[in-house]
Structure 1
Amino acid sequence: MSFAGGVVLLQGQAQLPDIAMIGLAAAVFASLWVIGRHFIGSKAGEVGRARAVWGFVRGSAAIGLAFVLGFGWAALRADWRLADELRGDLEGVDIELTGYVADLPQALDEGVRFRFEPDAAVEGVPGKLLLSWYRPRGSTEAPPAVKPGERWRFTVRLKRPHGFHNPGGFDYEAWLLERELRATGYVRSGARRLEAVDIRAMDAVHRLRDAVRERFTAVLGDAPHGGILVALVIGDQRGIPSEQWESFRRTGLSHLVAISGMHITLVATVMGAALGGVWRRLPWLVLRCPVRRVQALAAVLAGTGYALLAGMGIPVQRALIMLFVVAIAVYRGRSILPSRVLVLALLAVLVTDPWACLSAGFWLSFGAVAAIGFVLGGRQHGAIGWRAAVRVQLGISLALLPLLVLLFQALPLLSPVANALAIPLVNFVITPLALLAALLPLDFLLHWGHMATVLLMVWVEWLAAFEPGYWRQPAPPMWLGMLAMLAVAGAMLPRGTPGRLAALAVLAALLVWPPPRPEAGGFVVRVLDVGQGLAVHVQTASHDLLFDTGPPYGAHADAGSRVVLPYLQALGVRSLDGVVLSHDDSDHVGGARSIAGALDVERWWSSGEAAAIAGDVAMVTPCVSGMRWNWDGVEFAFLHPDGEAPRPAGGRHDNDRSCVLRVANPAGVLLLLGDVESAGEQAMLARHGEAALAADVVVSGHHGSRSSSSAALVDATLPQAVIHSVGHRNTFGHPHPQVWARWAAAGARNWRTDSQGAVEAVFAADADAGVGLRAQRLREPRYWHGR
């Protein structure tokens, strides 16, 4: 456990430590352990007090040594992996690469995405890439089909790993690091399929997986739940629609369609039991090899085969490592203590993959196994049969409660009920039928499996529709989550143990943790990192306003669903008092429908054609200069557009009709400019005068474009900070260097979301406290950010 603690601590570091210092610390602990052991074995160690002292020294040194070794091992592995990076001068330029398509390609709305491994070392180019190949702009013709194991020559443009950084958001850079994908990019031109020069084992596996996926798709056609069967066999979950994923999340069944320990263990157990049953009936075989050893070997082979078919993803690798630990213990005839197996599996997983602790699946899988061992072990009269199954399910649900709240800010209350039917149906009916259909060319097996899946989904969707069955809450502090985990352990102790009811009180505190909000008269603004777009959350003591909703990310995803909603859920925001759509550009209104479909919005404001977009879901009030209101002592006022201003003719952009919002309290003024350009800025200055535009924090107009932030506006506002909401390496060059310099010359500090993540400005209720700013990447830095 000390080794695991060292690994986990390393993954929270902002910078990698000095390996030499870690080696020195390991040498110190090792020396103390040797000295302690020596004195315990000497005559001086025979004295009771001395023996106890040196025993404590040796034990503490062993714990410290294990901790330092875990910390050092994770640091060494991280240093090796980060060394395989894209050289700076190769970022954003055309590079010709030849290599192999690895893993299953992923179909996109406008192309395909796949892992690519150059077949020869190219100086400055990492060994594993994630490439996207889009169809030409304006064309309806898709790129050529890309198959696993094919060898291609491409001209590509690459960039270093980069992802959004927002409170409650997903760390895409950590995800890429764990999977050893050290650069991303897209195919430019010069694509040519080449003849493979060698045969690689995993390429053959991925071709088999691709063939299984194509056969399932051909047999099932547009069957609504075919993606579930594909996921259960080859681990490719991309065919499961988002609506079905939402049903699984709300009922706590996501683990059933993600190949993990339960699936690997089931296949291994069935094959081990089957071969063992045959083996023990043949005495001449039993005399040559004990049944338990044969069962262990069969389980390992079956589990490995299933893991290969599933693509050897990170969760599958963890499950396979745990299976190997158990099989080795059985093969060697050792008594299997669940706690020892769990610790050895934990050690093996973290030695193999130090980044495993960054994934939610790591904590949930080990937590579930620990809960099973805790519930079934150490009792004189253990339950059997269905009573044991009920006790295990309830124990797992209780044990994982703090983790689910910490990781997802949600709790599927109907999970025990849903799993009671889903686990046996998936494990003993649907999965066997799907696996048999993959091995045998019998289409009826697939149809039977799909019919069983239809029955499952009727049950799942009925439970998911019960709104009180899905508990949502804001993200609690880490210290409360850790305390709740200890409380869970106490609550699961045998009856009669003192303090069990007190432990449940801690769990209740976790579930009713109130979200922190500004005090009356103050407000907080967060400019979210949504890429090349804009989404700003303004929060007062009891009200929430969203100014713009970010860009679309394709036909089926947008900033509303990917960024804004997870962020609001982490803060405990369940409804919005207002949404402003500044104008109709897609990078400002792309997430509007996702927001409207997930949250209750009391009021919408918009300008121009954006009114039609918001009008699809609600009544809309035009934003007009002079409109103002007060929430919790904070003044809100629209400064633009003028209701009588003509709309642009000839299909021109209506940037100068953007809603401009001023938010003020005694501590300062926030100015949200939308995409307003120079003409709109001049109109505001003429209408309101310079004093009305003075501000402490400005969210720059049009993302810092040269067409906005005129010298007149900058001189009128003179803020202490200006925030540019821009996309990483955006093609427009926003913010423009001239604009950046102009704000800096006026005394403002420039902030940008692409390199600093979401930027937060806190306007205190007390005028003397002023305004404080901080950025997400600076608030929670990690050693892999920007690498």
Structure 2
Amino acid sequence: MRLLIVFFALGIASCQLQANLQPWLFCLGSAAALVGVAMVLPRKPLRVATLWLAMALFGFAYANWRAELRLADRLAEHLEGQDLQLRGRIVGLPQVFERGLRFRLETQQAPAGVPATLMLSWYAQGKGELRQMPPAVHAGETWQFTLRLRQPHASLNPHGFDYEGWLFEQGIGATGYVRSGPGNQRLEDSGGGLMARVDRWREQIRSRFERALPDAAGRGVLVALAVGDQAGIPSAQWELFRMTGLTHAVSISGLHVTLIGALAGWLASWLWRRSPRLMLCLPAQKLAILVAALAAGTYVLLAGCGVPAQRTFYMLAVAALALWSKRAAGASRVMAAALLLVLLIDPWAVLSAGFWLSFGAVAALLLVACQQSAAGRASWRRLVPDWLRAQWAVSVLSLPLLLGLFQQFSLISPLTNALAIPLISMLITPLALSFAVLPLPSLAEFAHWLLEGLLAFLAWCAASPLALWQQAAPPLWLVAVCALAALWALLPRGVPGRAVGLLSFAPLLLWAPLRPAPGELDVNVLDVGQGLAVHLRTAQHDVLFDAGPQYGPEVDAGERIVLPWLRAVGARKLDLLVVSHDDADHSGGADSVLAAASPAEWRSSLAPGHALLGFFSPHQACRQGEAWEWDGVHFEFLHPAEGFSGKDNERSCVLRVRSAQGSVLLTGDIPAAVESRLLQEQAEALASEILIVPHHGSRSSSTPEFIRATAARHAVFTAGYRNRYGHPAPDVLARYVQAGASIHRSDADGALLFRLRAGGIEVDPFRQTHARYWHDRTY
């Protein structure tokens, strides 16, 4: 039965790798036919194998059916960009950010074609001291809004976070924002069913923490442990938890749910045993099982029903049912039942990194627990060795998963986990939950005092230069092989080849992707939205031209897109960073890149006194005529000339990179006047096979004369989806088409990867070559 569930899960996972859905009825019929064939096969091995295949097809058909239903609940294309008036209820916890509010809306009365769940922003009006925040919205309230919506669409890059996939998994069929006007009004203060009441309760608890700890640095962590809302944790603390391997410990994970259930069950049993009459009505053991399950379920509801918490609750529920009925339930059976329940309820859980890490951690702990039970009865003397052994097992099995998912793992995580997990799970979390039930500020203050001490210890650990291992992204097959090898290494003593399992980590840890050969060039145009970030790669050198935009006060493309990309392709250190000019969509991520990628040098056209110049060096200004060669590839700045003065866009650095197979011209945001200057001074240097189109395709650039001079075979437009500037302009697009250039758009193609090789130029438009069925393909 357990293997049947595993194959059912494999069928569901295979569905999520498709670019297009398959007819689920045909798949279901095929699975049923296979079951019929299995019943008449004479040999048991063939019969069993056929049933496994049938279960995989059942899972594949089920996932396709669920996906088809969810895709049907997406915003109709003709409603994009239209002002729509509708009515709906606030669900989940609204989030406040610097520019306004962000919340989910469950529609009640809406035009046909509007999906059931929306992700909305309500922006503040005005700037500076005159900025006026929108009115507060609260969970469970019913509002009438005037909205402007669009289909789910986001930047799409190799090894990057798939925000469109996350929206799809969450059941969000459109994103958008509230239009200012008198049509926005609250209609009802409260309402809804159980989850609406739970969300209001969660919001009240969050507000209670805000009042008790108004300026506390660790308040966001306590709120996350109490109600699962992680939005209040600063990015600096996330970075600290990442470096010390503790991101799972500040989420409501399986360990927290299990401990809360066990504590509630023990307390109920202790009180119940005080009354002989109650003992006669119901044995204390059964009461403890019931209370533990109810407490765990309540905590999961309070946490917002995250995947790790759900998984733990389902496992506890299966185990509790077996114990209640006095039937033995092996750990592997409980885990298989939990896997089945999770995927039946949420077949897209396999898209979540937490799904794989949580089930991997449970598998490691089960292996250790089985060995400990076989070794004999537990004792206090064995408590510390057993705990360390469990930490070792989780670290070993998590290592290939972490490298495959995030290309990094914390070398000090065994130490930090050994101290932090007991402190967080047994003291800080119970105190935070006690404060959620009993509004005594001293409980929150004590929990925060403990947390402050823990954060100081983690900061000391993270200061070590050996705290974090980072490397290039290994291929999926290598991750799978090493995960199986890790499982083998954790098997009991006496199993042959256990040490070989650990030796298999060597190719994983030493993995490095192939670089271009001398004289060849890779041009990677990252999808950063409305902005620019281009990674140029030769045999031994890495150059980044621009670092993308800044998305918010603490979030920019450098941190979110560029650095993960550089880490995944094995670019440990940049040889050169070029910041073309002082415009937020080109320089917004430079701060993060300069701090983390440590470029050997960098160039820009930034004015003297710019903030970036005061913190990072060595820096030089871009200068026309400066040229050099790396690995048989020629680099040359064509603009600006020394002493040139003009506006920011006019001072954009223009870089031409030429290899034996072709060249690329990177132009920043130069306007028509600079194009004319280049045509007059060095028209022969403009010809290029690949052109990063000036100013994202604005009408202020790309004159017919400039297009003819470049004679580009590939014209690349880097623009945000449905951006407010209308880039690229239709008439500019038409000019490049008429000139015979192949058109590439980051908003339609995602990241664009050009490989200049001896056989020609290879193009990989990531949104097309690595499409999934939930990805937007509007263009």
TM range (shorter): over 0.9
Amino acid aligned to 1:664: R
Are 1:102 and 2:91 counterparts?
A: yes
Query: 1:291-329: per-residue Cα shift (whole Å, max 9, x none)?
Result: 333222111210111122222234433332222222222
CA deviation string 1:391-448 (max 9, x = no partner): 1111111111110111111111111111111111111111111111111121111111
1:625–1:639 contact (8 Å) kept in structure 2 = yes
Task: For residue 429 of structure 2, give the secondary structure of its aligned residue in structure 1.
Answer: helix
Question: Of 142, 162, 185, which residue of structure 2 is paired with 1:171?
Answer: 162
C-alpha displacement at 1:92, in angstroms? 0.7
Per the alignment, do residues 74 and 528 of structure 1 end up closer, same or farther by CA in structure 2, a change over 3 Å counting?
same
Q: Tell me which of 141, 160, 165 is aligned to 2:132.
A: 141
Runs in 1 of length 4+ with deviation above 6 angstroms?
none
SS in 2 for 1:370: helix
Determine the structure 2 residue equivalent to 1:619.
618
Q: Once the 2 structures are TM-superposed, how far is the Cα of residue 723 of structure 1 from its aligned partner?
A: 0.7
- The residue correspondences of 1:582-593 to structure 2 (distance < 5 A) are 582-593=580-591
Deviation at 1:339, TM superposition (A): 0.9
Q: 2:93·2:138 contact (CA, 8 Å) conserved in 1?
A: yes
Matched, 1:122 2:120: no
Is 1:23 the counterpart of 2:28? The answer is yes
Partner residue of 1:40?
Answer: none
- Give the match for residue 600 of structure 1: 598
Structural mapping, 1:47-446, within 5 Å: 53-120=42-109, 122-138=111-127, 139-189=130-180, 190-196=183-189, 198-378=191-371, 380-382=374-376, 384-446=382-444
Matched, 1:783 2:773: yes
Do structure 1's residue 2 and structure 2's residue 1 form an aligned pair?
A: no
**C-alpha distance in 1 between matches for 2:88 and 2:36:** 49
Q: Distance in 2 between matches of 1:305 and 1:351?
A: 21
Q: CA RMSD in A?
A: 1.6
Q: Aligned partners of 2:608, 2:691: CA distance in 1, in Å? A: 23
CA distance in 2 between partners of 1:571 and 1:611 (Å): 34
1:761 partner SS: strand
Look up the match of 1:41.
none
Where structure 1 has 5 or more consecutive residues not aligned to the other structure, the ranges are 37-52
Could you say what secondary structure the match of 2:466 adopts? helix
- Distance of 2:441 and 2:271 partners within structure 1: 29
Greater shift in the superposed pair: 700-709 or 500-509: 500-509
| Aligned twin of 2:3 | none
Equivalent of 1:682 in 662, 665, 676? 676
Who is 1:559 aligned against? 557
For the residue of structure 2 that corresponds to 1:576, the secondary structure is coil
CA contact (8 A) 2:25 2:61 kept: no
Specify whether residues 610 and 751 from structure 1 end up closer, same or farther in structure 2 by C-alpha distance, changes over 3 A only.
farther
Say if 1:606 and 1:614, in contact at 8 Å, map to a contact too.
Answer: no
Distance 1:378 1:623 in 2: 64
Change (3 A) 1:418 1:198: closer
What SS is found at the alignment partner of 1:119?
strand
- Higher mean alpha-carbon deviation, 199-208 vs 272-281, is at 272-281
1:633 corresponds in structure 2 to: 632
Instruction: Report deviation, 1:196.
Output: 4.8
**Are 1:662 and 2:662 matched, yes or no?**
no
Matched residue type, 1:149: G
**1:21-54 CA distances to partner (integer Å, 9 max, x unpaired)?**
2023112212112223xxxxxxxxxxxxxxxx52
Which residue of structure 2 lines up, in the alignment, with residue 47 of structure 1? none
Bigger drift between 345-354 and 206-215 goes to 206-215
Q: What residue in structure 1 maps to residue 499 of structure 2?
A: 501
CA distance in 2, matches of 1:610, 1:564: 26
Q: Deviations along 1:345-375, whole A, 9 cap, x unmatched?
A: 1111111100001011000110011111111
Moved more, 490-499 or 669-678: 490-499
Q: Is the 8 A contact 1:583 1:610 kept in 2?
A: no
TM-score by structure 1 length?
0.94
Q: Tell me, yes or no, if the aligned pair for 1:543 and 1:576 is still in contact at 8 Å.
A: yes
Displacement of 1:610: 8.1
Provide the rounded CA distance (Å) in 1 between the counterparts of 2:224 and 2:286. 31
Contact 1:614 1:620 in 2 (8 A): no
Deviations 1:633-656 (CA, angstroms, capped at 9, x unpaired): 1000011122243x23xxxx4322
Report how far residue 279 of structure 1 moved: 3.2
* Paired residue type of 2:636: A
Hey, what's the Cα distance between the residues in 2 that align with 1:356 and 1:296?
28
Counterpart of 1:634, as a letter, is V
Letter in 1 for 2:402: L
CA distance in 2, matches of 1:23, 1:311: 33
User: 1:450 maps to what in 2?
Assistant: 448
Matched letter for residue 306 of structure 2: G
The AA in structure 2 aligned to 1:638 is F
**Which ranges in structure 2 are unaligned for 5 or more consecutive residues?**
1-5
Residue in structure 2 matching 1:33, options 27, 31, 38:
38
Question: 1:85 and 1:246, CA in 2 relative to 1: closer, same or farther beyond 3 A?
Answer: same
Residue 283 of structure 1 deviates from its aligned partner by 4.3
**Cα distance in 2 between the residues matched to 1:630 and 1:162:** 39
What is the letter of the counterpart of residue 120 of structure 2? L
C-alpha distance in structure 1 between counterparts of 2:578 and 2:697, whole Å: 20
C-alpha deviations, 1:639-692, integer Å up to 9, x for none? 1122243x23xxxx4322211110001100111111112111111111113x32
2:761 counterpart of 1:771:
yes
SS at match of 1:575: coil
Partner amino acid for 1:303? Answer: A
Partner of residue 43, structure 1? none
SS at match of 2:184: strand
SS at match of 1:552: coil
Question: How far off is 1:725 after superposition?
Answer: 0.5
| 8 A Cα contact 1:153 1:191, kept in partner | yes
Deviation at 1:613, TM superposition (A): 4.6
Cα pair distance change 1:158/1:121, threshold 3 Å: closer
The CA deviation at 1:198 is 4.2
Mapped pair 1:708 → 2:701: yes
Q: Report % sequence identity.
A: 46
Give the Cα–Cα distance (whole angstroms) in 2 for the partners of residues 314 and 183 of structure 1.
22
Instruction: Supply the distance in 2 between the matched residues of 1:59 and 1:283 (Cα, whole angstroms).
Output: 52
Secondary structure at 2:491 match in 1: coil
What is the CA–CA distance in structure 2 between the aligned matches of 1:227 and 1:158, rounded to whole Å? Answer: 30
Count of residue pairs brought into register by the alignment: 762
Q: Distance in 2 between matches of 1:417 and 1:405?
A: 19
Q: What is the DSSP-based 3-state SS (H/G/I as helix, E as strand, rest coil) of the residue aligned with 1:468?
A: coil
1:209-238 CA distance string (max 9 Å, x none): 111111111111101111111111111111
Give the Cα separation in 2 of the matches to 1:687 and 1:614: 31
For residues 580 and 225 of structure 1, the distance between their equivalents in structure 2, rounded to whole angstroms, comes to 37
> How far off its partner does 1:497 sit?
2.8
